[in-house]
Amino acid sequence: MVRENPGAPAVLSDKEFQLFRSLIHKQAGISLGDAKKPLVAGRLSKRLRQLEIGSYSEYFRQVQGNAQEMQHAIDLLTTNETYFFREPKHFDFLRDQILPGAIGRGPFRVWSAACSSGEEPYTIAMVLAESLGLQRPWEIVASDLSTRVLKEAAGGLYPLADCDGIPRPLLHKHCLRGIGAHEGSVLINPALRERVGFRQINLNNALPNLGIFDVIFLRNVMIYFDVETKQQVVRRLLPMLRPGGHFMISHSENLNGITEALKPVRPSIYRKPDA
C-alpha cells in the first residue's frame, strides 16, 4: 500500500488504536486507557516511516504475521523507566533485615522479574556483594519482556549522569569509568555482571523453571495491569518463592485483593509464610 501523500504522517484512528490496545493487553497484560492513544501513535509512527508503511492498520497486519516485528512493536509500546537504587527502602530492608539471616545458608537467589535496562538487578548485586561478599554463592535472575532493554542491560554500560543514585563508595568499588570511546560512561564490574543472568520472560505466559528464590522483586509493572492480570501474574510467581521468602512491589502498588498467600511486612514488602 502506498500513501497518496507520502509526506503526510499516518493518523491513528480509534479503531486502529483499539487493535493495538487489544494486542498489547493480550501479549503483555498491559491495559492502556483512552488517554494513551497519542502515546501509541507517537511510538509507532517512526516504525511506520522506517518500513514505508502507509497506515497503522497495515502495520498491524504485518505485526500479526511476523514474530520478529511483533517483538519490535512490544518493545516500542512497553515503558521501561528505571534507575539505580530506586525506592531505596527496599534495598535497606534487603541489607538489614533479610541478608543477615542468609549468611551460612545455601546459595542466595533473587529474581528481578521486570528488570528493564538492568539498573534494578545491578543495584541488588551491589547490595549482595557488600553483605555476602563475592566468595559466597549468590545469583540474580533478571527478566523482562523487551529484548531491546535486555540487550542494554546485559552490556552493563550506562551514562555517568544516570549513575547519580549509586552511593559514591559503591560507584568507585563496583563500577569502572569509561575511557576513550566510552568516555562519560560507567561499566558495571564484570565480577558483578557474571552473577546476573538476563532472560526474556513474559510474565503473562507459563513461566520457565527458574528454581526457587529467596526474594522476588516485581516493581513498577503491575501498575499497568488490570486486577485479573495482576492475580494471574502473582499466582504464577508464588511457587518460585521459598517459604519465608520476601516479595517486593513498588510503593505505588499493593496486593489488596490480589493474593492472600503473602503477608505484609512493611509497605510494599511481603513475606511468604513458612511451610
Q: Give the H/E segment covering residue 111.
A: strand 108-112
Asked if 49 and 85 count as a contact pair (C-beta separation under 8 A), the reply is no
**CA terminus-to-terminus distance, the chain:** 61
HSE-CB for 47 with a 13 A CA cutoff: 20
Asked if 115 and 84 count as a contact pair (C-beta separation under 8 A), the reply is no
- Candidate list 3, 43, 47, 95, residue with the active-site label: 43
Asked if 82 and 46 count as a contact pair (C-beta separation under 8 A), the reply is no
Is 195 annotated in the active site? no
| Partners of 141 in the β-ladder | 111, 197
Nearest C-alpha neighbor of 242 from the set 275, 199, 266, 202: 275
Q: How far is CA 223 from CA 32, 86, 111, in A?
A: 11, 16, 19
Q: Which three cell numbers, joined as nine digits, stand for 74?
A: 512490544
Query: Given its phi and psi angles, is residue 88 left (phi above 0), alpha (psi -120 to 50 degrees) or beta?
Result: alpha
Is 43 annotated in the active site? yes
- Candidate list 86, 144, 193, 219, residue with the active-site label: 144
Which of the residues are catalytic?
A: 43, 144
